[in-house]
Amino acid sequence: MNSAEQTITVEIATKIDEYLRETMLAIDEEAFGPGSLNEWSLPPFLHYGRVYVARYNGTPVGIAELMRDWRDPELAYLYGAAVAKEYQGYGIGTAMLRAILEGLPRSGFRRLQLTVHPENQIAIHIYQDKFRMRKVDFMKDYYGPGEDRWLFEWTWDG
């Protein structure tokens, strides 16, 4: 396929049809296994949080979910971000994260936090090197025994 035909778009999902719902849940499950979104957790994110969908040539291939921090109105939390395995390496995750970060200040947010498994070197590289996020904490047993996470933070400089 010629590069002129390859299009990545990122949109905020509010209402979704059955196909998009199933696709989004499958992408998330492929990435996060038992910790993934399901038919019960996705609707609250759609209605009370923010859900982004990345499309590659019109096909939904990525999902990201955000929530607000009740203690700090300028802080958003990236609950999850995933790109279908067969579409990784095309810049889709980068485009999705860029769209998220560009939209946050317009919505009143100055900071974004997210967690990363300490062995996920690809994600760590992307967050640190491409988006200048910094590690702010190491959270031992965050998701239970042996499930440690790095806490990363992005700050808007504008």
User: Over the stretch 48-81, which tens digit does the pLDDT of each residue have?
Assistant: 999 999 999 999 999 999 999 999 999 999 999 9
Average pLDDT (117-124) is 94
Domain containing residue 25: CATH number: 3.40.630.30
Is pLDDT above 50 for 115? yes
- Using DSSP, state whether 101 is helix, strand or coil: helix
Q: Are 100 and 89 in contact (CB under 8 A)?
A: no
Q: What b/e string do you get for 22-61 counting C-beta neighbours within 10 Å, with b at 16 or more? A: ebbbebbeebeeeebbeeeebeebbeeebbbbbbbeeebb
Is pLDDT above 90 for 150? yes
Q: Which pairing describes strands 111-116 and 72-83: parallel, antiparallel, or unpaired? A: parallel
Backbone angles phi, psi at 143, to 5 degrees: -105, 20
Q: How would residue 1 be classed by pLDDT, with cut points 50, 70 and 90?
A: very low
What pLDDT does residue 32 have? Answer: 92
Average pLDDT (6-26) is 95
Tokens of 80: 């999850």
Tokens of 103: 């939209």
CA 99-43-79 angle, 5° bins: 45
Q: Which domain holds residue 143?
A: 3-155
Could you tell me if residue 135 is left (phi over 0), alpha (psi between -120 and 50 degrees) or otherwise beta?
beta
What pLDDT does residue 4 have? Answer: 56
Q: What is the pTM of this model?
A: 0.91
- Specify the higher pLDDT residue, 5 or 110: 110
Rounded mean pLDDT of the chain?
94
Query: What's the total number of domains in the chain?
Result: 1
From residue 55, alpha-carbon distances to 3, 63, 84, 110, 139 in Å are 15, 9, 11, 26, 33
